[in-house]
């Protein structure tokens, strides 16, 4: 299933919405960097540049996916009436 980068997210909390958009962008960046590492005939300089960018991206992801994000996701889950109704 191909997801559009322009499709709106069905998230009611504006902070969580923005964080998920940023998370998606960083994950796409990491995917692109890992694909670049698969290219043939990369010089050591090119590998170093890609790995440096990958390191920065993973640090950003680690910082981004903190307890605050987890709490916002949990709150969004609690606000889903369909899930609560199905459990009862």
Q: pLDDT, tens digit, for every residue of 33-67?
A: 999 999 999 999 999 999 999 999 999 999 989 99
Domain-located, residue 75: yes
Q: Number of folded domains in the chain?
A: 1
Whether 68 is covered by a domain: the verdict is: yes
Indicate the pLDDT class of residue 82, thresholds 50, 70 and 90: confident
The pTM of the full predicted model, rounded to 2 decimals, is 0.76
Q: Is residue 43 part of a domain?
A: yes
Domain of 35 in residue numbering reads as 21-80
Q: CA geometry: angle at 51 spanning 38 and 31, to 5°?
A: 55
Residue 6 counted as domain residue? no
Closest among 61, 60, 34 to 47, alpha carbons compared: 34
């Amino acid at each position: 299933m191909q997801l559009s980068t322009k499709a709106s997210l069905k998230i009611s909390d504006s902070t969580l919405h923005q964080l998920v958009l940023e998370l998606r962008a960083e994950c796409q960046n990491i995917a692109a960097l890992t694909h670049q590492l698969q290219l043939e005939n990369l010089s050591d300089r090119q590998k170093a540049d890609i790995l440096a960018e990958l390191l920065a991206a993973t640090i950003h992801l680690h910082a981004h996916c903190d307890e605050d994000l987890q709490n916002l996701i949990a709150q969004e889950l609690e606000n889903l009436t369909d899930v609560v109704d199905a459990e009862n």
